Amino acid sequence: MTEGEPAASIPTNRWDSEPSKREEAKGFIPGKQYQSPFLQLKLHGPPMTSNLKQVWFPGPLIVGAGPSGIATAACLKERGVPYLILEKETCFAPSWKLRTYERLKLHLPKQYCELPLMAFPPEFPTYPTKQQFISYLDAYVERFAIKPLFGMAVRVAEYDPSVRFWRVEAGDLEFICRWLIVATGENAEVVWPEIRGISRFRGQLLHTSCYMKGDDHRGEKVLVVGSGNSGMEVALDLCDNDAKVSMVVRDKATLLVLLNSFKFRLWQLHILPRELLGISTFGLSMALLKWLPVKAVDALLLFGTRLLLGDTEKYGIKRPAIGPLELKSAAGKTPVLDIGTFAKIKSGQIKVVPDINQFTSRGAEFADGEHEEFDSIILATGYKSNVTSWLKCHILTAASPWTSPSNAKKQIGTFFMQTYESHVKGFGLADTFACGKEEEFFGEKDGFPRTSFPNSWRGKNGLYAAGFTRRGLLGASMDACKIAEDIANLWSRRYQA
């Protein structure tokens, strides 16, 4: 993660002095709130599915109302660009509101987790709780009057090169828009591990997305599978509530990574103290990176960590051969910031166990041949992006009625075609589009942009990605600022020239 960038200067709004521009925008005035947040036009072109009603929206369409989506919306609103958010759940920030445990706190200091244009309340602690962060998001949405359309799960989004617009199916509507912002994030779906015999286990089996609090497991023997920040924090919560906890640090979902001709396994884990000498480890590393190379900063972090935590390998946690920041850059693997779990491991209150060979009806068999029974198994196996399941590329055939402007005009009507031509020419983009497979912007395996940070926010044909930096809330905020500035520049060419 790197420090955020200040929001770009807001372009001067000249709508009041140019009433003719209002007419051209067909009623959309930047910054104004509408009873209905989108413009409905009766188009006569063929929707992707025949029973859908078509809706044209002149501004960007944002998919996802999590922190990335609402941050992008706020930045667009501040720059006078109308937007529309589609959210499949019934609330904004559903991951935070519906899928997080009660004990959760932000793992980084609050100054690295603020969304653009609004700071945390000064009375909040350095590491706000889940409840405090949700209250901050509530206030953020209220301040910027962000009103997503809820219950709108996007089934498919395709770029139509014949009219150079995106076509997005959600509910019983097909939205047609110039810009598509993917803000569904890195944690859209839970990851269920493929471990032999998992269906045979007769005890309670749940993912951390369903875990609420350690008190629900008081007195139980619990196996936590996974040792990222969530797994470590859940294990600590269980231990503090008198559960007997075992934790799998190495699971079968290992991956070989090649870096500088050296192979290492991602189950090897970097665990760092959350603070070094009273200073945020993250903040310290960001400050040092301004002056020192990554390897030097890694060496300093590991030296301080060894002084505070000791040799983690003695307790079953082997460190990778390369440093935490270099590993983060090479493989996206985030180091664990310890908040007290490792002390429980050292004292024996939390037991580190080997890889799982298979589950049994009453517990697990480990790679060393040992068997152990458990009352509950909690899978701290993380989340994944789901972008590639709905973001598609539609290459039209010669038989399609959309394949030429004359046919398109016949199909969708003169009014929309004139509006389309006005938008494309007005934005100065008529010669810049490329008909390419937009899903290639996102990797098929992991659903992340193929282009690395800090250039992972923009694709082709008006496609953007917010919150896929592997740099948490700070990365999402950086994306939101860049995306809003880019779209606002294009928007202003048409309406503020």
Report the alpha-carbon distance of residue 253 to residue 401 in Å, rounded: 47
Give the pLDDT score at 19: 32
Q: What is the H or E stretch that residue 161 is in?
A: none
Number of H helices, E strands in the chain: 12, 26
Q: Report the Cα 161 to chain-centroid distance in Å.
A: 28
> What's the CATH number of domain 194-383, 3.40.640.10, 3.40.50.150, 3.50.50.60, 3.40.50.300?
3.50.50.60
What is the pairing mode between strands 363-366 and 356-359? antiparallel
Residuewise pLDDT in 10s, the chain (497 residues): 333 333 333 232 222 333 333 333 333 333 333 333 444 443 434 555 657 888 999 999 999 999 999 999 999 999 999 999 999 999 999 999 999 999 999 999 999 999 999 999 999 999 999 999 999 999 999 999 999 999 999 999 999 988 889 999 999 999 999 999 999 988 888 888 888 999 999 999 999 999 999 999 999 999 999 888 999 999 999 999 999 999 998 533 333 343 343 333 445 789 999 999 889 999 999 999 999 999 999 999 999 999 999 998 888 888 888 899 988 877 777 899 999 999 999 999 999 998 899 999 999 999 888 999 999 999 998 888 889 889 985 443 333 444 444 444 444 444 344 444 444 444 444 333 333 444 477 777 777 788 878 888 998 899 999 989 888 899 999 999 999 999 999 988 766 54
Report the alpha-carbon distance of residue 227 to residue 346 in Å, rounded: 15
φ/ψ of residue 97, rounded to 5: -85, -30
Report the alpha-carbon distance of residue 232 to residue 247 in Å, rounded: 8
Report the alpha-carbon distance of residue 399 to residue 403 in Å, rounded: 8
Q: What is the H or E stretch that residue 54 is in?
A: strand 53-57
Give domain limits for the chain: 19-188+385-495, 194-383
Q: Report the Cα 461 to chain-centroid distance in Å.
A: 21
Is the torsion defined by CA of 137, 138, 141, 144 positive or negative? negative
Q: Which residues does 166 contact at the CB level (< 8 Å), separation at least 6?
A: 61, 157, 158, 159, 160, 175, 176, 177, 178, 179, 180, 461, 462, 463
Is 302 strand, coil or helix? helix
Instruction: Return the axis-axis angle of helices 472-495 and 67-78, rounded to nearest 10°.
Output: 30
Give the pLDDT score at 315: 86
Q: What share of the chain is helix, strand, coil (3-state, %, to 5)?
A: 30, 20, 50
Q: Do 19-188+385-495 and 194-383 show the same overall fold?
A: yes
Token reading at 150? 């809820």
Q: Under a CB-based contact definition with an 8 Å cutoff, are residues 365 and 356 in contact?
A: yes
Give the pLDDT score at 137: 97
What is the pairing mode between strands 463-465 and 256-259? unpaired
Give the pLDDT score at 443: 74
Give the pLDDT score at 450: 81
Give the pLDDT score at 46: 54
Give the pLDDT score at 94: 94
Per-residue burial over 411-435, b if 16 or more Cβ lie within 10 Å, else e, is bbbeebbebbeebbebbebeeeeeb
Give the pLDDT score at 327: 85
Task: Give the bridge partners for 251, in sequence order.
Answer: none
Q: Under a CB-based contact definition with an 8 Å cutoff, are residues 378 and 225 in contact?
A: yes
Token reading at 1? 């993660």
Q: Which residue has the tokens 């990851």?
A: 191
Report the alpha-carbon distance of residue 238 to residue 241 in Å, rounded: 5
> What's the CATH number of domain 19-188+385-495, 3.40.50.1970, 3.40.80.10, 1.10.1760.20, 3.50.50.60?
3.50.50.60
Q: Under a CB-based contact definition with an 8 Å cutoff, are residues 75 and 480 in contact?
A: yes
| Of the candidates 356, 363, 287, the residue with the CA atom closest to the CA atom of residue 325 | 287
Q: Sheet with 363-366: list strands edge to edge.
A: 356-359, 363-366, 371-373
Q: Which residues does 461 contact at the CB level (< 8 Å), separation at least 6?
A: 159, 161, 164, 166, 433, 434, 435, 436, 438
Beta strands per DSSP E along 138-179: 149-150, 154-160, 165-170, 173-177
Q: What is the H or E stretch that residue 351 is in?
A: strand 350-353
Report the alpha-carbon distance of residue 447 to residue 168 in Å, rounded: 18
Measure the N-to-C terminal CA separation of the chain; round to a whole number of Å.
Answer: 37
Report the alpha-carbon distance of residue 84 to residue 190 in Å, rounded: 26
Token reading at 419? 């509006």
| Of the candidates 34, 223, 64, the residue with the CA atom closest to the CA atom of residue 153 | 64
Is 458 strand, coil or helix? strand
Q: Return the ∠ at Cα 35 (arms to 31 and 38), rounded to 5°.
A: 70
Give the pLDDT score at 295: 94
Q: Return the ∠ at Cα 364 (arms to 362 and 365), rounded to 5°.
A: 130
Integer CA distances (angstroms), 464 to 122, 354, 387, 448, 475, in order: 33, 41, 12, 12, 14
